């Protein structure tokens, strides 16, 4: 076979979901109240064929990693650690959350996912999942991959896609 073109493999599964609570801040002083979504993730990886297996990446392993990444934040309150407006402070077994300096919520620590992002938008969640997946794939020795594209949907027809090119 001639080496022409590139391959994309995609994984979208009913179990690649995470049901999580969050709130986002908007421009100015607007801020949502706490609410939840059944988020759905899907991913595409691109790259050269592995000439031993004739696949780009093992589907089973890709699904397995994605499921684990989704499970890590499933059934938790997603909180941003890099927000300029949302303060997140751990106090032993609780997490205190303030917005614009005003106390807003206190959660059990075990029910929170403290995330290194500035706002819990689907854009930032897609980027975070991509970075985590990229680390996992590199650790798995997937040096043939050229791009990862991650979609996170928070409602039907409402999603963000993040794409990173790997060099």
Just list the catalytic residues. Answer: 31, 75, 154
Whole-angstrom distance, CA of residue 53 vs CA of residue 61: 14
Contact predicate 80/118, CB 8 Å: yes
Whole-angstrom distance, CA of residue 54 vs CA of residue 48: 9
Please give the span between the terminal C-alpha atoms of the chain, in angstroms, as a whole number: 25
What is the three-class DSSP state of 62? helix
**H or E element, residue 38:** strand 35-47
φ, ψ of residue 47 in degrees (nearest 5): 165, -175
């Amino acid at each position: 076979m001639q080496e022409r073109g590139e391959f994309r493999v995609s994984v979208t599964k009913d179990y690649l979901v995470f049901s999580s609570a969050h709130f986002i801040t908007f421009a100015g002083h607007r801020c949502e109240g706490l609410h939840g979504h059944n988020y759905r993730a899907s991913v595409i990886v691109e790259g050269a064929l592995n000439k031993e297996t004739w696949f780009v990446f093992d589907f089973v392993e890709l699904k397995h990693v994605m499921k684990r990444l989704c499970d890590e934040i499933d059934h938790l309150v997603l909180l941003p650690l890099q927000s300029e407006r949302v303060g997140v402070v751990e106090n032993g077994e609780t997490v205190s959350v303030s917005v614009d300096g005003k106390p807003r919520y206190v959660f059990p620590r075990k029910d929170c996912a403290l995330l290194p992002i500035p706002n819990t938008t689907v854009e930032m969640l897609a980027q975070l999942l991509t970075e985590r997946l990229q680390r996992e794939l590199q650790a798995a020795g997937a040096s043939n991959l050229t791009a990862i594209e991650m979609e996170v949907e928070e409602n039907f027809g409402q999603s963000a896609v993040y794409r990173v090119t790997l060099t």
